[in-house]
Amino acid sequence: MGAIRATCAVLLMFVSAVASAADCATGVRILSTRANVPNLVAGPSAWNGTGLAVAKTQEGALGPAWVAVYGEGLETLTSDRLVAGDARELIALVWTGAELGLFYRTTNQRIHLLRLTSTGELISTPVVVTPGRPVFTGDRTEVIWSAVHDAYVVARYVTQGSARGLYLTMLEEDGSQRSDRPILVDPATASPLAIDVTDAGVIGVFFNTSTGFLAMARITGSSDTPEVREVVPAAADELVVAARAEQFVVARTASVGDQLLIRWLVVDTAQRVAKSETLLVEGSGQDVHPQALVVTPDEIALSYMDSPIRDQSLDDIFHLRRFTITGDLIGDIAFAPTDLSAVRAVSPHPFTWTGTSYLAPPVRSSSDRLTSYLVRYCPLEAAILAPRTVLVGETVTFTPVPGGGVPGYTYVWTFSHQAAPEKNTVTPQRTYTEKGTYSATVTVTDNAGVSTSATVTFDVVHPRRRAVRP
């Protein structure tokens, strides 16, 4: 009886381990269309640990800004809440670990920080960011929260006037200014801008120089002088960056003839190229641009736009490309594979890795409507349901447990005692006539062409014989 209990316990533990593979479901939800009154257009978002907060503006109305919160299953946690009335442009929505910070450009050309609770309630009145510095329409601003510095890190490129140049500002959580310093007086005109902070607190700001190079500014503290170094002898049309351990993963557009490509490289905190620049995405059409980059413990994910026809947003295709730090491709799919119209929506804002899925609120723009979506993509997972101990002569059934990805799965099985793989069988059966340790591997491919594998190892043993007294 003890042996039976032990075997059942092993099997039950294995069942519970694989059950999570099927818990995550890829999906799309429409948030708002032109038919809605008001039509709230999705903008920057932030994951607060339990929900995705999405900042929105009202289509056709200059000024109002709203915030709503959605669960990972695309359900509404907090309905749309009006938080500001003077927002001309939403810049970033940032989670500090305790509250949300909404950065936006006002109708009177200032940058404000609005502090909100995790559900979008106002904490205080808006705070003006660097009030002595003018704001112009073509300026670029990037904002992140650094847990190491316990501060907002704001990189801003002022494009005109006597204050023209690139600046780095650090703000306390309440918006008060901790430090403010210039990085470069004369960057390239209309330079893209990307920023992130490593686990050790090294701030990396990437931008184009006026000499046509991609450069990195390195800052280690609130009072340090920025160190600027050129890292790539070519400028970027678009640029995204994400910190990984003590390195920065950088993706940028590169022109080759009439075609745009996305190339990537890795730069360390000493501003040295740790991985030389290589091709990441070759677009299927005439236009391709990186949108955002996210690093997870196991992979790197890039959202990008791939347009068959240049400058026609109706034909934009929003993609998610997942790859390893060594450059091995995990999968490249349309970010909203379950809804064609959402596939054609894009978002220039950072997306979110929740620990189980990727979330983004893209927007589709056409001549007659703006439609906002909430997109969830669950990476494809696989497991095998089978006993860990099998008796000689017993028939064993192997059951695949796929999850995530795009439903519509195919299976290829490989067994350690069998040379040729077995295709087009969902639940194969095997009978083992000799004791030993064996394994079974299933490779699952979903409807988007992404594949993943799982392996189970088990022992084949002789049944115990009960001793008979003479």
Listed in sequence order, the residues at least 6 apart from 149 whose beta carbon sits closer than 8 Å to its beta carbon are 170, 197, 201, 221, 222
Residues 334 and 442 in one domain: no
Residue 166 in any domain: the answer is yes
Cβ 318 vs Cβ 303: under 8 Å? yes
Residue 470 in any domain: the answer is no
Q: Which amino acid is at 39?
A: N
Could you give the CA distance from residue 225 to residue 229 in angstroms, rounded to a whole number? 13
Going along 416-461, which residue ranges are E strands?
422-423, 429-431, 436-445, 451-461
Residues 13 and 162 in one domain: no
Closest CA to 289 of 263, 315, 266, 268: 263
How confident is the model at residue 3, as a pLDDT? 38
> How many domains does the chain contain in total?
2
Cβ 150 vs Cβ 144: under 8 Å? no
Residue 185 in any domain: the answer is yes
- Residue 364: pLDDT over 60: yes
- Average pLDDT of the residues of the chain: 89
Residues 174 and 250 in one domain: yes
Residues 125 and 220 in one domain: yes
- Residue 384: pLDDT over 90: yes
Q: Which residues of 432-451 are buried (b: 16+ CB within 10 A; e: fewer)?
A: beeeeebebbbbbbbebebb
Residue 119 in any domain: the answer is yes
Residues 45 and 118 in one domain: yes
Of 359, 377, 395, which residue constitutes the final position of a domain? 377
Got the DSSP string for 42-58? EEEEEE-SS-EEEEEEE
Residues 191 and 307 in one domain: yes
Cβ 133 vs Cβ 80: under 8 Å? no
Structure tokens at 176: 């008060």
We report the CATH number of the domain holding residue 394 as 2.60.40.10
- Residue 317: pLDDT over 70: yes
Supply angle C-alpha 363, 28, 345, rounded to 5: 25
Residues 167 and 215 in one domain: yes
Q: Which amino acid is at 103?
A: F
Q: Could you tell me the residue range of the domain that residue 446 belongs to?
A: 2-21+381-461
Of 377, 400, 416, which residue constitutes the final position of a domain? 377
Q: CA dist 245 to 266, 295, 395, 434, Å?
A: 11, 10, 48, 48
We report the CATH number of the domain holding residue 221 as 2.120.10.70
Residues 102 and 238 in one domain: yes
Residues 60 and 191 in one domain: yes
Q: CA dist 416 to 431, 439, 440, Å?
A: 13, 5, 6
Q: CA dist 85 to 42, 88, 131, 315, Å?
A: 16, 9, 19, 33
Of 377, 407, 432, which residue constitutes the final position of a domain? 377
Calculate the CA 51 to chain-centre distance. 15
Cβ 170 vs Cβ 156: under 8 Å? no
- Residue 231: pLDDT over 70: yes
Structure tokens at 438: 């064996």
Q: pLDDT, tens digit, for every residue of 13-42? A: 344 344 444 578 999 999 999 889 999 999
Residue 469 in any domain: the answer is no
Closest CA to 281 of 250, 312, 302: 302
Residues 191 and 89 in one domain: yes
Residue 407 in any domain: the answer is yes
φ, ψ of residue 367 in degrees (nearest 5)? -70, -20
Residue 164 in any domain: the answer is yes
Residue 466 in any domain: the answer is no
Q: Could you tell me the pLDDT band of residue 404, with boundaries at 50, 70 and 90?
A: very high
Q: pLDDT, tens digit, for every residue of 86-112? A: 999 999 999 999 999 999 999 999 999
Residues 40 and 188 in one domain: yes
The 10 Å Cβ neighbour count of residue 367 is: 6
Residues 415 and 453 in one domain: yes
